């Protein structure tokens, strides 16, 4: 742990987990920099708050006084995802005392020409993509999958969203059939499979042959098993078991496609003009005439 600061029941802390300018730090890239990440933790449970951990532009060798001042801002922003996201852009220069007199002209974003604004927007869009934490999307996907009764732990979810063939979202593991039926309002329909203690129902999602190279709705295979420990299934129960299998297969595809849409929407939002301009205004960033960040 580099530095930490506690206020009430919250603790803001700096840590280095191997991140650089474009994801993992690359020691072979002379232009890469080891960057710090901040997080906010509940001191009572020692658990990290949701949406409170972000990689920043702060190198690991940043002066401790600057890191401490930054921790105060982080604690001030606790509870606001947007404010914490905007702080992911902070860098040591933001805290340095400006003692020199500028001889160049400084521009706010709205003072830039259209072409200079586009240059700034493109730079921020690329930086947002490179610094985006994949775990943020995984958590979003997990919440939806849990509602459906589908596998939702970190290891169960796989995705790739790069606008390429084979991209999408997949999830593997055991299905909570009761939760699935509650979500789809089918408990009454499948009651004959549930009302006896002798009935046993299980369902799960496995990776098919396509899943070794891709992650999307067509890389998952749904399997289910309905048994009665004491008696042979009735004809009606057999039909319901088949209908349950079909229903699961249909909704696994539906949810996978919906998560893919959600994922792309989130990635598009963090590169949108609306989001970037909001970041710029909150942080009061300044630019050169040609749109480069100062």
Q: Where are the domains of the chain?
A: 4-97, 134-269
pLDDT reported for residue 96:
64
pLDDT tens digits, residue range 23-44?
Answer: 888 899 888 999 999 999 999 9
Q: What is the mean pLDDT of the chain?
A: 90
Cβ-in-10-Å burial (0-12, 13-18, 19+) of 78 comes to: middle
Query: 89 pLDDT band (50/70/90 cuts)?
Result: confident
Query: 82 pLDDT band (50/70/90 cuts)?
Result: confident
pLDDT tens digits, residue range 155-186?
Answer: 999 999 988 888 999 999 999 999 999 999 99
Both tokens of 5, joined, read 């600061």
pLDDT reported for residue 104:
61
pLDDT reported for residue 100:
42
% of the chain exceeding 70 in pLDDT = 97
pLDDT of 102 > 80? The answer is no
φ, ψ dihedrals at 26, nearest 5°: -110, 105
pLDDT reported for residue 97:
46
Taking the C-alpha atoms of residue 146 and residue 159, their distance in angstroms, rounded to an integer, is 17
pLDDT reported for residue 98:
42
Q: Quote the pTM value.
A: 0.63
CA 118 from chain centre, in angstroms, equals: 26
pLDDT tens digits, residue range 227-239?
Answer: 988 788 899 999 9
pLDDT reported for residue 148:
98
- Cβ 43 vs Cβ 111: under 8 Å: no
- Cβ 148 vs Cβ 251: under 8 Å: yes
* Average pLDDT of the residues in 6-11: 93
């Amino acid at each position: 742990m580099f530095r930490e600061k506690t206020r009430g029941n919250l603790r803001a802390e700096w840590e280095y987990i191997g991140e650089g300018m474009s994801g993992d730090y690359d020691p072979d890239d002379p232009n890469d920099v080891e960057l710090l990440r901040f997080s906010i933790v509940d001191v009572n449970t020692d658990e990290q708050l949701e949406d409170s951990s972000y990689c920043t532009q702060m190198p690991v060798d940043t002066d401790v006084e600057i890191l401490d001042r930054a921790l105060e801002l982080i604690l001030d922003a606790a509870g606001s995802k947007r404010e914490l996201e905007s702080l992911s852009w902070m860098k040591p220069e933001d805290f340095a005392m400006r003692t020199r007199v500028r001889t160049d002209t400084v521009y706010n974003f709205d003072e830039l020409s259209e072409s200079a604004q586009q240059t700034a927007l493109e730079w921020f869009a690329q930086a947002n993509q490179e610094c985006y934490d994949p775990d943020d999307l995984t958590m979003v996907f997990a919440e939806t999958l849990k509602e459906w009764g589908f596998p939702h732990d970190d290891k169960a979810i796989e995705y790739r969203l790069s606008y390429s063939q084979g991209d999408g979202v997949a999830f593997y593991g055991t299905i909570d059939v009761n939760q699935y039926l509650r979500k789809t309002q089918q408990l009454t329909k499948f009651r004959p499979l549930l009302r006896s203690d002798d009935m046993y129902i299980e369902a799960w999602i496995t990776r098919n042959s396509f899943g070794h190279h891709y992650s999307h709705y067509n890389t998952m295979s749904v399997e289910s098993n309905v048994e009665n420990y004491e008696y042979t299934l009735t004809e009606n129960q057999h039909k319901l078991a088949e209908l349950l299998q079909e229903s699961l297969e249909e909704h696994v595809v539906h949810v996978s496609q919906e998560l893919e849409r959600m994922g792309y929407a989130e990635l598009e939002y963090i590169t949108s003009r609306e989001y970037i301009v909001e970041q710029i205004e909150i942080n009061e960033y300044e630019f050169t005439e040609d749109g480069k960040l100062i």
